[in-house]
């Protein structure tokens, strides 16, 4: 299978590289996805082959003010290492301070600064992709972090705020000048959010302009897409977001329909178990529903059976139903 050779080093398109002490020795990296890339799911993506885990974005404000939801956002298991904590904020000093607090408390292997979130409540307050409108703030943030932390700092950006203000090259150079160890480009503007096609030619341009590793991101759904992105852009690695929600096996070199059935079923069961271990029976099953729906798109599940599964509140019955449907049975 081409995908397996691709991931097992038999691949002229990929050379391992380092972010500080983190060795990126495989070409596909798990993207941070708020609401999805929690500890149980990251364990799955790591076990399947992502060389690193990246948390959902963590609000600098929550860190400094120790809000009640913080422990959940920063939780990770040691087996997951290397782990990158992703931070967002619009106030440079607070973002830097939050990184200092987390460095001392959790010792992540790197910090990533989110400059790509397009959500209104984040970007409009000047955080996430909102930072792209203020390159001087970006300079302050990255230089402040690299000078005050011993942990490497990376950045995740978009092309710019909108098509009239494309500035990914300027931002990339600032990040590199200020000591960033890697940059990821989601090749869309903030205004595009998730519409249209990502512009991979910008990834190529950024890679040619910088000497730090450049990770390409946007619209990679298959192993073939990933290989094409490496080939067409020369990027150092490829970050996979939405496609991994249905197909975390992509990190092991499989397209969804090609995953061997025993591996497919084993990983689905393991993911549910990790969720339960982490959240407890009730919440573990409830938060697994959205994954179950995606995974079961591989099987021929009737609308009625899916409805029964999605509305089942009793954890034991949920597990039993999931297992039946996963094995190809009907309820
Ligand atoms: C539901 C959702 C949540 C996301 N949360 C984050 C986040 O916390 N941090 C971040 O940098 N990007 C976040 N993103 C953006 C993804 O990391 C990625 O850049 C984007 O989905 C494009 O990649 P894809 O085409 O492979 O999905 C999110 C995207 C989605 C759809």
What is the atom index within ligand 1 of the atom nearest the CA of 88? 9
What pLDDT does residue 5 have?
58
Which ligand 1 atom minimizes the distance to the CA of 217? 23
Which ligand 1 atom minimizes the distance to the CA of 244?
A: 26
Q: Whose CA is nearest to atom 26 of ligand 1?
A: 241
Which CA distances in Å does 159 have to 27, 168, 276? Answer: 22, 5, 39
CB-based contact 61:69 (threshold 8 Å): no
Residue nearest to atom 22 of ligand 1 (CA): 218
Query: Which residue among 37, 241, 244, 247 has the greatest number of ligand 1 atoms within 8 angstroms of its CB, and so is best to mutate?
Result: 241
Per-residue pLDDT band at 1 (split at 50, 70, 90): very low
Residue nearest to atom 30 of ligand 1 (CA): 33
Residue with CA closest to ligand 1 atom 28: 33
Percentage of the chain surpassing pLDDT 90?
Answer: 95
Mean pLDDT estimate for the chain: 96
**Secondary structure class of 310 (helix, strand, coil):** helix
Point out the least confidently predicted range of 11-25, 84-98, 111-125, 159-173. Answer: 11-25
Strand 214-217 versus strand 237-240 pairing type? parallel
- Whole-number Å distance, alpha carbon 317 to ligand 1 midpoint, is 33
> Nearest 5°: phi and psi at 186?
-85, 110
| Cross-strand pairs, 22 | 19
How far apart are the CA of 221 and the centre of ligand 1, in A?
13
pLDDT (tens digit, 9 = 90+) per residue, 215-247?
999 999 999 999 999 999 999 999 999 999 999
Where residue 219 falls (left for φ over 0; alpha for ψ -120 to 50; beta otherwise) is left
Burial of 117 (0-12, 13-18, 19+ CB in 10 A): buried
Cα 167 to Cα 134, 135, 138, 182: the distances in Å are 10, 9, 12, 17
pLDDT score recorded for residue 3: 54
Distance set, CA 278 to CA 38, 270, 281 (Å): 10, 12, 9
- Give the mean model confidence (pLDDT) for residues 27-45: 97
**Per-residue pLDDT tens digits for 251-293:** 999 999 999 999 999 999 999 999 999 999 999 999 999 999 9
Q: What is the pLDDT of residue 48?
A: 96
Cα separation, 113 vs 174, whole angstroms: 13
Testing ligand 1's pocket by substitution, the residue of 28, 30, 32, 59 carrying the most ligand atoms inside 8 A of its CB is: 32
Taking the centre of ligand 1 as the mean of its atom positions, its distance from the CA of residue 61, in whole angstroms, is: 21
User: Rounded to a whole number, what is the distance in angstroms from the first to the last CA of the chain?
Assistant: 35
Give the predicted TM-score (pTM) of the model. 0.97
**H or E element: which one contains 197?**
none
Q: What is the pLDDT of residue 9?
A: 56
Residues designated as active site: 117
- pLDDT value at position 2? 45
| Alpha carbons 54 and 319: distance in angstroms, whole number | 28
Query: What is the pLDDT, as a whole number, of residue 12?
Result: 82
Please tell me the distance between residue 329's alpha carbon and the centre of ligand 1 in angstroms.
34
pLDDT of 10 strictly over 60: no
What is the mean pLDDT of the segment spanning 17-41?
Answer: 96
Dihedral sign from CA coordinates of 228, 230, 235, 238: positive
Q: Which of 29, 33, 37, 111 to mutate to test the pocket of ligand 1 (most atoms within 8 A of CB)?
A: 33
pLDDT at residue 191 above 60?
yes
- For atom 13 of ligand 1, which residue has the closest CA? 33
| 4 — pLDDT class (breaks 50, 70, 90) | low
189 burial (CB, 10 Å; 0-12 / 13-18 / 19+) is buried
> Ligand 1 centre and the CA of 38: distance in Å?
13
Pocket of ligand 1 (CB under 6 A): 31-35, 56-57, 86, 114, 116-117, 156, 186, 217-220, 240-243
CA of 148 to the centre of ligand 1 (A): 28
DSSP-based three-state secondary structure for 97: helix
Structure tokens of 241? 């977001």
Q: Which atom of ligand 1 is nearest to the CA of 218?
A: 25
Cα–Cα distance measured from residue 154 to residue 137, given in angstroms and rounded to the nearest whole number: 15
Percent of the chain with pLDDT over 70: 97
Say whether pLDDT at 6 is over 80.
no
């Amino acid at each position: 299978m081409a995908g397996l050779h691709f991931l097992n080093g038999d691949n002229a398109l990929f050379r391992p590289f380092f972010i500080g002490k983190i060795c990126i020795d495989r070409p596909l990296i798990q993207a941070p996805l708020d609401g999805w890339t929690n500890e149980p799911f990251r364990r799955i993506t790591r076990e399947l082959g992502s060389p690193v885990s990246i948390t959902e974005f963590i609000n600098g404000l929550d860190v400094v003010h120790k809000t009640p939801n913080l422990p959940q956002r920063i939780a990770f298991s040691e087996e997951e290492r290397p782990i990158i904590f992703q931070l967002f904020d619009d106030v440079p000093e607070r973002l830097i301070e939050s990184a200092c607090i987390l460095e001392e408390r959790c010792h992540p292997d790197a910090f990533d600064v989110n400059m790509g979130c397009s959500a209104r409540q984040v970007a409009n307050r000047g955080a996430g992709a909102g930072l792209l409108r203020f390159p001087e703030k970006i300079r302050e943030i990255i230089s402040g972090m690299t000078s005050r932390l011993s942990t490497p700092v990376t950045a995740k950006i978009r092309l710019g705020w909108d098509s009239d203000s494309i500035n990914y090259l300027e931002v990339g150079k600032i990040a590199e000048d200020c000591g960033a160890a890697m940059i990821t480009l989601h090749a869309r503007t903030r205004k595009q959010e998730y519409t249209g096609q990502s512009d991979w030619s910008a990834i190529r341009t950024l890679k040619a302009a910088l000497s730090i590793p450049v990770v390409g991101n946007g619209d990679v759904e298959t192993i073939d897409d990933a290989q094409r992105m490496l080939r067409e852009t020369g990027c150092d690695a490829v970050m996979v977001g939405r496609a991994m929600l249905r197909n975390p096996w992509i990190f092991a070199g499989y397209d969804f329909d090609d995953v061997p059935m025993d591996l497919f079923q084993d990983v689905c069961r393991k993911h549910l178990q990790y969720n339960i271990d982490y959240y407890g029976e009730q919440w573990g099953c409830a938060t697994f529903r959205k994954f179950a729906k995606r995974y079961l798109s591989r099987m021929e599940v009737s609308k009625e059976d899916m409805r029964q599964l999605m509305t089942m509140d009793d954890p034991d019955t949920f597990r039993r139903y999931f297992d039946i449907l996963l094995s190809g049975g009907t309820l």
